[in-house]
Each structure stands twice: as C-alpha cells, then as structure tokens.
C-alpha cells in the first residue's frame, strides 16, 4: 500500500501513481467533498471485485461509475434524446444518473443489474 498526500507541488506525481495503480487492477482510496471513495477500473472484474470485498458489499448493490463525458456515457449506457438533453444541462456536475446498461460493447462490472 502506498499513501500519497496531495499538494499543489505533486499533483502530476499523484495522478501518475493513481493511473498506474488503476491500470494494474488496484484500488485507490480518494477524498471527495463529503466522504472517502474507492476507485477501480470498472472494466476490470478483479479490480471491481476488490471494491466489493473491501466494502463487504453484495453484487446486488451496484457501485457508481464515473463518466468523463457524453461520448463515454453512450459507450456504456442507452441514452435517448430526452435523457441526453437533460444530462447536457447538468453535466459536468455532481449529478448521479441511473441509466440502462448497453448489452453490447465494453463490459462493465459492478453490479448484477441492467443499470
């Protein structure tokens, strides 16, 4: 385990270490505005399994997936014109959207559900 303290002088180093950890299937603990979160590559089953184990969470309770932009969201979820219009109004921002998962395309792990 490696603990990094974030400062204005080491942002690049922390980002590089974080990406390295995620690419290797690791889990990153990071602060948000309210709680500490767990981060893993949602396309890596072993990495996501680690989050469920750490949290002692069943697969029936989904975990959120961070999405960069609308293009990325459309790779993972079915988004109709109405949903896209609404999402464009609130993204980027601190908004959670529950969307239907695409059946084809990039495989995501994190819950045994359609969303």
Mean pLDDT of the 9-25 span: 93
Q: Is the pLDDT reported for residue 36 higher than 80? A: yes
Q: Is the pLDDT of residue 1 over 90?
A: no
- Mean pLDDT, residues 26-47 taken together: 90
Burial 64-85 (b: 16+ CB within 10 A, else e): ebebeeeeebeebbebeeeeee
Confidence (pLDDT) at 111: 59
Please tell me the pTM assigned to this model: 0.75
User: pLDDT of 95-107, one tens digit each?
Assistant: 888 888 887 766 6
Q: Could you read off the pLDDT of 50-96 as tens digits, one per residue?
A: 999 999 988 888 788 888 889 989 988 899 999 999 999 998 888 88
């Amino acid at each position: 385990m490696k603990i990094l303290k974030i400062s204005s002088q080491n942002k690049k180093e922390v980002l590089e270490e974080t990406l390295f950890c995620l690419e290797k299937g690791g889990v990153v603990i990071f602060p948000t505005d309210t709680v500490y979160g767990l981060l893993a590559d949602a396309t890596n089953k072993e990495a996501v399994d680690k989050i469920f184990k750490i949290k002692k969470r069943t697969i029936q309770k989904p975990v959120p997936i961070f999405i960069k932009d609308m293009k990325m969201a459309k790779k993972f979820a079915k988004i109709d014109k109405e949903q896209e219009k609404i999402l464009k109004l609130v993204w980027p921002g601190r908004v959670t959207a529950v969307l239907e998962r695409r059946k084809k395309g990039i495989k995501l792990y994190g819950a045994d559900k359609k969303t």
